[in-house]
Structure 1
Amino acid sequence: MSAQDKAGLRRSLRRARQSLGKNERARAELAANRFLKRHIRRNGRIGIYWPIGSELRLNGFIQTALTRGAKLYLPYIEPHSLRLWFTPYQADGRKAERRHSRGSLAIPQFSGSKIRAHRLNVLLVPLVGIDRQGYRLGQGGGYYDVTLAALKGRLKPHTVGAGFACQLCGSLPHEAHDIALDAFVSEAGIMRFSAQTPA
């Protein structure tokens, strides 16, 4: 699939996500956050994400995770590198040290002791779309692709795509090096994927 085709697919999936009405979105986010809470363990290290645009908000999940004693981490993007670090989430709303911008995306970056993804127990992954085999279509920056690929041969976190049911597709284009996620959580419930062999 060409880059142009992928861009069209992204536009179509974003439109589906953006077309959710205010009340429908609120109900869907509440339900998805409830399903996500099953991944919380006391003292567990969980990678979360800062939602951009119409991505699924994690407010309910974050509140519960902190109450239950989980440790939350946000992605940290170093200049000139695609592989993500993760820094501690600050519940006190500490201001970001800087914002990483790429195109229309502006992602707050928080300081703190950095860890790599293999040190997390669970990693929640944002997405534009996901298929029934667990392959995701992201924003196109490549950060999660590179980060997930770096987990090969290591102990890896349980990877969970988080989004809305309208983002689920029959199949998406993927390369031999792409890594399928372990699960997808939406308002419709939890979809688990079996181990994938590269195509």
Structure 2
Amino acid sequence: MAASHSSSLVSDPPAIAEAKQAQRTRCLAVLKDRPAGVDTTLAARLAETLLATQCMHIACVWPLPHEIDLRPLCHQLSTAGRHVLLPDTPPRGQPLTFRLWTPHTPMLRGRFGTQVPDGPTLTPDLVLVPLLGFDRTGNRLGYGGGYYDRTLASLPDVRSIGYALAAQEVDQLPTGPYDQPLSCLVTERETLHFD
């Protein structure tokens, strides 16, 4: 298991940070240029995976304009009786907190252009993890802020499921000392489980 984040700002060694940034540029272009309809296919595969679990508190993601749109999935999970939680992004260096969302919950403006539900803070059983790239060993490439790595380190018993397009796969991602691997990853084509 990777080292846990402290509350102070930490970063990768320079060579790893540079290699990650090069991968981010390529993977972000793939995400932005995805074909129409792929979000729906991926959300359906995620719903199948999530509804097969016993997890009741599921941390989802309200998308930024270029991200995969999981809002229909949030509605589907809520209708199925699951508690949908959305991240509230704190100042850099801190783990995310998660607030309860329902289709009737007002949304507030969050950091970095995000939307945050005006609901109580709860702890998830399972966290959906956005990413820019992944490899077949469970490593993920995030946006570089370390929020999900800190969050997963602070919740060691929580399942983490990444979601991405198959085209966002990288042969081998550079990893730093604070990177937290995924439990599972779902694409529009397949589901990968990691030990």
TM tier, smaller? 0.7 to 0.9
Give the direction of change, closer, same or farther, for the CA distance of 1:151–1:93 in structure 2 (3 Å limit). Answer: closer
Tell me, yes or no, if structure 1 residue 17 matches structure 2 residue 19: no
TM-score, normalising length: structure 2: 0.83
> 1:128, 1:136 within 8 Å by CA — same for their partners in 2?
yes
Unpaired segments ≥5 residues, structure 2: 1-14
State percent identity of aligned pairs. Answer: 27
1:148 pairs with one of 127, 149, 152 = 152
For the 8 Å contact 1:55–1:163, the answer to whether it is kept is no
Deviation track 1:152-178 (CA, whole Å, cap 9, x = no partner) reads 4xxx22210012111111210112332
Structure 2 residue corresponding to 1:113, chosen from 107, 112, 120: 120
Match status 1:182 vs 2:188: no
Please give the alpha-carbon distance, in whole angstroms, between the structure 1 residues aligned to 2:92 and 2:68.
27
Q: What does 1:92-107 correspond to in 2, within 5 Å?
A: 92=104, 94-96=106-108, 98-101=109-112, 106-107=113-114
Of the structure 1 ranges 46-55 and 1-10, higher mean CA displacement relative to structure 2 is found in 1-10
1:48 counterpart = 2:68: no
Looking at structure 2, the residues matched to 43 and 180 of structure 1 have their Cα atoms a distance apart, in angstroms, of 19
Q: Is the 8 A contact 1:29 1:56 kept in 2?
A: yes
Aligned equivalents of 2:158 and 2:32: distance in 1?
A: 30
Secondary structure of the residue aligned to 1:72 is: strand
* Structure 2 residue 101 is matched with structure 1 residue 89: yes
Match of 1:167 in 2: 168
Are residues 122 and 80 of structure 1, via their aligned partners in 2, closer, same or farther at CA, if it must alter by over 3 Å?
closer
* 2:92–2:145 CA contact under 8 A, matched in 1: no
Q: Is the aligned partner of 1:35 residue 2:49?
A: no
Structure-2 change in CA distance of 1:174 and 1:80 (3 Å): closer
Q: What is the identity, as a one-letter code, of the residue corresponding to 2:60? A: I
Runs of 4+ in 1 over 4 A off after TM superposition: none
CA contact (8 A) 1:42 1:69 kept: no
Rounded Cα–Cα distance in structure 2 between residues aligned with 1:129 and 1:64: 26
Q: Give a deviation string over 1:20-40, Cα, whole Å, max 9, x none.
A: 2xxx331x2222111111212
Matched residues in 2 for 1:82 and 1:183: separation? 24
Per the alignment, do residues 148 and 92 of structure 1 end up closer, same or farther by CA in structure 2, a change over 3 Å counting?
Answer: same
Unaligned runs of 5+ in 1: 195-199
- Cα pair distance change 1:77/1:59, threshold 3 Å: closer
In structure 2, distance between residues paired with 1:2 and 1:177: 12
User: Is 2:20 the partner of 1:3?
Assistant: no
| Partner residue, 2:128 | 124
* CA distance in structure 2 between the partners assigned to 1:45 and 1:33 by the alignment: 18
CA contact (8 A) 2:99 2:121 kept: yes
Which shifted more, 80-89 or 64-73? 80-89
- Find the residue that maps to 1:16 and give its secondary structure: helix
Residue in 2 that maps onto 1:193: 194
RMSD: 1.9
Distance 2:97 2:83 in 1: 15
